[in-house]
Amino acid sequence: MDVQWFWINKKGEHCEMISIAECLGSDAKSHRFSSSYNSRFSVGTYIIYPRDKIYTQVRSQFLSPGITYTVNLVFNFEYSSKGKRRCDPISLRYRLQGERESSISYLAYEREDGWWACELYHFTCDYRIVHFEILFEDYHNRDYLRVEGIEFQPLENVEHIDEKQLISDLDSDANWEEKLPADYEDIMKRSKNSLQWTTKEEAYSIIRKGFLISDDETKRGIWFSLDKHGKKCHLLSAAFTHNEKMFFSESRFGEAIRFNDKYIFIKTEVQSQLVSSETTYACFLVYKLLEDQSGFEAPVSVEDKRCDSVDKIWYTYLTSPQTPVIRPNAGQNTHNSLSRPKIKGLPQQRNDGWIEVKIWELRAANTINMELTLQLCDEKKFSGLIIEGIEFRPI
């Protein structure tokens, strides 16, 4: 019976997957195996139901010494194998045999090969043969998993590159006159401060850097700017909530909102003057976490209250998921941030010191109403979350 799948990546590093059948003990239930899901192994997949406890022994044979690996659980959702794509987070609790503390993986991502994976551990390989005993203690999802195996892949180090142009690069703007909005004077007249310019080029430079404008109707602050393509961007202050306001010198508005509720309600109307027509925008929550970030490890559900389709709920994260490290070296962190370039909904550090995560998309039109509800999936409060506002930026 085939029990291992071996390959070499472009860097010449060894990769390996062990069939779930090889990892399970003699108490594995034969009726849970199925070979009808396009598995690499003839024995196929093994079903894990919610709340199952599964003991596995994972033994590699061909790993590359000196390489840092990820240990991945490779699986498919039962419904996704029938043509439905799943976006719900998983809640998989597991631990190494002999350890007291358990880890929880909330994040599963779909791969190019059609399978799903979640990272269980990182470790630096000392020998080709590695032996782990992993106990899967609990699993929560509306779907059940068809597990193919446990995989060892070299860790990918993906460096985040901020796509937004830095202020220091403004002088290199080309064709600035074509990028200046036709209504730039009307927008600049809304500035809370007296703006001075004598030429269109000076006006363009001011708008590119951004400035604070007033909204007489809602009494909220708005930071308006242009991106490097001349598309309109704006950041709304967090006046969409009645939570506690606090003075915050790091904010453009001089204040921010400190949350201590289980829900975040965002209801606003996007002004057509502040977005470029025929442009698709992403809406980002702009925030900081001032306290222990461990309370924000669970995903955040985002519900579009104005949408009646099945896709009205999606998920995002306020902190990047952390992967535990097996036998860390002296001075090495016991957890590493997950770094996968194709996963949507992960937060990014901004150049201005804040954090952002995408919570919505829209197509610019005359009137755009927005009504969202955010909630942590573990139903904890957003205690220690500081929100500056929501930003609309072209994508």
Query: Could you tell me which CATH class the domain 167-336+343-394 is placed in?
Result: mainly beta
Given a cut of 60, whether residue 73 has pLDDT beyond it is yes
What confidence tier does 305 reach under pLDDT thresholds 50, 70, 90? confident
Q: pLDDT at position 112, please?
A: 86
Report pLDDT digits (tens) over 263-286. Answer: 999 988 888 899 998 899 999 999
Residue 259 predicted with pLDDT over 90: no
Domain ranges of the chain: 4-154, 167-336+343-394
Q: Which range (310-319, 329-338, 359-368) has the least confidence?
A: 329-338
Measured between alpha carbons, how far is 238 from 152 in angstroms, rounded to an integer? 44
CB 138 within 8 A of CB 51: yes
- Residue 83 — very low, low, confident or very high, per pLDDT cuts 50/70/90? very low
pTM: 0.85
What integer is the mean pLDDT of 20-33? 91
pLDDT at site 234: 96
pLDDT value of position 223: 95
DSSP characters over 305-349:
TT--STTSEEEE-SS--EEEBSSPPTT--SEEE---TT-SS--EE
Average pLDDT over residues 177-205: 91
Q: What is the pLDDT of residues 34-72, one digit of tens each?
A: 987 789 999 999 999 988 899 999 999 899 999 999 999
Q: What is the pLDDT of residue 214?
A: 78
**Equal CATH topology for 4-154 and 167-336+343-394:** yes
Fold observed for domain 4-154 = Jelly Rolls (2.60.120)
Query: What tens digit of pLDDT does each residue of 131-188 get?
Result: 999 999 988 877 889 999 999 999 886 554 444 444 444 445 678 889 999 999 999 9
Banded pLDDT at 330 (limits 50, 70, 90) = low
Convert the pLDDT of each residue in 331-362 to its tens digit: 567 777 766 656 778 899 999 999 999 999 98
d(CA 107, CA 89): 6
Is residue 325 within 8 Å of 335, Cβ to Cβ?
yes
